[in-house]
Structure 1
Amino acid sequence: MIRQFQWRDYDAVTGVWESAGREVVPRAELEAKLARDPELFLVAETGRRIAGVVMGAYDGRRGWILRLAVHPDYRRQGLASRLVAELEARFVRLGCPRVNLLVMPDNEAGLRFWQELGYLPCPDVLCTKPMGTPVSRD
């Protein structure tokens, strides 16, 4: 079953992220995310266990797919595709015209997965800047 994340899922979700080798999103970041668009943070539940997770974000112009992960014990069962399909349906209901995501360049299996779902690689250059410390303009 695919459903919206609830706080009681947090420990299980962090377990999925850790088992998939992904960085855990701290509670404070999730609180800010959930204040904006909680309906775009989904979990895949198998029985009573959280087996997969995906976060989406929508800024009114573009949707983003973030943090898709499936626990290794539940891979190759279609959970990732079902999570993405539900997230895409929610983007459509919000009127989102385009969805973006990031795949690490050495993640060939990930790139293949996304391409099978219709996502096309773009030659964009990703730039990032941590916002923890203000930059001096002297």
Structure 2
Amino acid sequence: MIGVRQFRWPDYDAVAELWKSAGRDVLSRHELETKLLRDPQLFLVAEADEAVVGVVLGTYDGRRGWILRLAVDPTRRRHGIATRLIGELEQRFTALGCPRVNLLVLPEDDGALRFWQALGYLPFPDVLCSKPMAAPR
């Protein structure tokens, strides 16, 4: 049975390994500490047999929710884990009064785009702009 719950610090190593196995960059402990000051209830893990098998990082800025870093253990994909994680995250966004949720999908990732569209997320023709900021001194 798959359970979904809020991330706890003892989960960090398992989450980092999961991100690596899914081809995602690993967020440092420092970066997560900063994020968790804002909305820790939006960082979720899925577990089975006491092992972390999925993870999603959400954030809410008071206007929009964002879904970031969804990853599922490659050996456990296509078993509804991602859908369960997103369902729980959406419930938590709703409880916060979040009116809209955004996410980014790489344009060449057809499988991901189909997954998100099946959950009701629609592509927008926005252009992503990004600027790296210098670390504080």
- Secondary structure at 2:37's aligned position in 1? helix
- Secondary structure at 2:63's aligned position in 1? coil
* Number of the residue aligned with 1:31: 33
Shift of 1:132: 1.9
Shift of 1:73: 1.2
Work out which of the residue numbers 39, 47, 50 in structure 1 matches 2:49.
Answer: 47
Runs of 4 or more above 6 Å deviation:
none
Could you tell me how far apart the structure 1 residues matched to 2:62 and 2:32 are?
19
Could you tell me how far apart the structure 1 residues matched to 2:58 and 2:121 are?
15
- Secondary structure at 2:127's aligned position in 1? coil
Work out which of the residue numbers 65, 89, 92 in structure 1 matches 2:91.
Answer: 89
* Number of the residue aligned with 2:72: 70
* Number of the residue aligned with 1:14: 16
Could you tell me how far apart the structure 2 residues matched to 1:100 and 1:12 are?
26
* Number of the residue aligned with 2:112: 110
- Secondary structure at 1:61's aligned position in 2? coil
Give the TM-score, by structure 2 length: 0.96
* Letter aligned with residue 7 of structure 2: F
Give the TM-score, by structure 1 length: 0.95
* Letter aligned with residue 133 of structure 2: M
- Structure 1: which 5+ residue stretches go unaligned? none
Shift of 1:133: 6.4
Alignment RMSD, CA only? 1.0
Could you tell me how far apart the structure 1 residues matched to 2:134 and 2:73 are?
31
* Letter aligned with residue 127 of structure 1: C
- Secondary structure at 1:43's aligned position in 2? strand
Percent sequence identity is 66
Could you tell me how far apart the structure 2 residues matched to 1:54 and 1:23 are?
13
- Structure 2: which 5+ residue stretches go unaligned? none
Across the two proteins, how many residue pairs are aligned to each other? 134
* Number of the residue aligned with 1:79: 81
